[in-house]
Chain A
Amino acid sequence: MATRGFTGRRPSAAFASRLPPGQFETDDFPVLSKGPTPRVDLATWRFTLSDGPRPLASWTWDEFEALPRTVWQGDIHCVTTWSKFDTTWEGVTVDDLLAAAGVAAPSAYALAISHDDYDTNVPAADLLNGRAMVATRFNGAPLAAEHGGPARLLVPHLYFWKSAKWLKGLRFTARDEAGFWELRGYHMRGDPWKQQRYSDDP
């Protein structure tokens, strides 16, 4: 049903095909978080890969920075309906993390775990084959704290709440365990092209 008097502002034809349904493009880089920006000290920072409670591998900041690096360029989509085009991220792919740990993905699901006790669940299939990285640089500069620095998950093909800020670990889980927002009404997977925003979306 049309809203009386609403005409809207459509994206240009060139951008329309890149914009998932219900999204609008912004030049800004909005910030959303459940609480204060945590104070993360690089001197004590560690990133831990684990299989349930069992650690598989752990890196200090310097060790992490020495891992093979990948650059990804593309569009990101937030469930609050903004999308940002042509962003450039640099970091370590989850594939390279697993390779450095000398293991294959131990299960079909994972929880990304952050310094502010945030977590979010992502199927392993969405993390592997170059689809996700732990990003430490944005548009050529160290990732700002407000945007999740020093390191955040980047899963750009899912809504951006899955790209957990201030990441400290990735824990593989046997089951798909709901994370912070998933326990509070948001979708378990969050595909923007299917508009999987809330838990009652298909």
Chain B
Amino acid sequence: MLTPRIVSVFLRAPLPPGLAGQHLVVRLTAPDGYAAQRSYSIASAPGAMPMELVVEKLEDGEVSPFFHEVVAAGDHIEVRGPLGGHFVWRPADGGPLLLVGGGSGVAPLMAMVRDWYASGAKVPLLLVVSARTWDELAFRDELVALQARAPLLRFVAVTTRDAAHRPGDLVQRLDSAALQRLLTEWGHAPAHVFVCGANRFVEAVTTGLLDAAVPPDRIRTERYGGTG
């Protein structure tokens, strides 16, 4: 369990290694043949075994509750992938790299951070992760520990309903002013920007980045949910 609402699902599957940022399609089949399929981001680095999928529980969901309440070690799950050829980062793409995630949207960014570190961490990386509280920041302890080892990693935690736990962390919703300030303090112009989270979060962050004069063609997004 990553947070009270987000779990990791570890898969051992003979799949191609893929690229950081990709997802798997998971297909669950009922005894009568009825099937439901959903996409989940891969949080492990390409080629890592087991492969780590991140699943947030949607209260009225059909598939995500299965991964929170039913699945057990040893179960067989049908998957397809890794898929996705746009929201991906390869070590050869370089940086500076800006990753901004909201809630479970940190999952594909985690694959990039892990790939960045495994490949030698040669470019500056600013990772900004937002969640409601400190305890709802998925991968928080791993990222804090990684920052201590990787001088080129700057990890900023943003909480919207909690106090700041570390110097430099923010307590607010990310907006244009906060993003401008983070970019200025970082001191790098990002060559590649990846933003992942709920639609409202991604829309707010990308609006802020455009306001901060980040060129739109450097910004890639992955959104979930909608406008209601």
By a beta-carbon cutoff of 8 Å, the part of chain A in contact with chain B is: 1-10, 22, 24, 26, 28-39, 80-81, 116-117, 144, 146-147, 180-181, 183-185, 198
Contacts and interface: CB of A to CB of B under 8 A. Distances in A.
Interface stretch (B4-12, B26-34, B107-115, B180-188): B26-34
A7 B70 CA distance: 11
6 contacts: A3-B75, A22-B35, A24-B36, A29-B228, A30-B199, A184-B85
Contacts, number: 109
B34 A8 contact: yes
Contacts of B72: 4
A31 B29 contact: no
Given A8-B36, A30-B225, A35-B221, A2 B31 contact: yes
Given A2-B29, A28-B226, A31-B227, A9 B221 contact: no
A156 B166 CA distance: 49
A184 B227 contact: no
A24 B207 CA distance: 30
Nearest to A27: B228
A3 B70 CA distance: 10
B78 A1 contact: yes
A185 B226 contact: no
Interface residues of B, number: 41
A7 B227 CA distance: 29
A38 B216 contact: yes
Nearest to A200: B80
A8 B85 contact: no
B71 A5 contact: yes
B215 to A, nearest CB: 10
Contacts of B146: none
Contacts of B62: 8-9, 24
B216 to A, nearest CB: 5
A29 B225 CA distance: 7
Interface string B54-85: 00000000100010001110011110100111
A47 B86 CA distance: 27
A35 B220 contact: yes
Given A24-B62, A34-B221, A3 B30 contact: yes
Q: Which of A5, A31, A183 has the most CB of B within 10 A?
A: A31
Interface in B1-54: 28-31, 34-39
Nearest to B209: A36
B141 interface: no
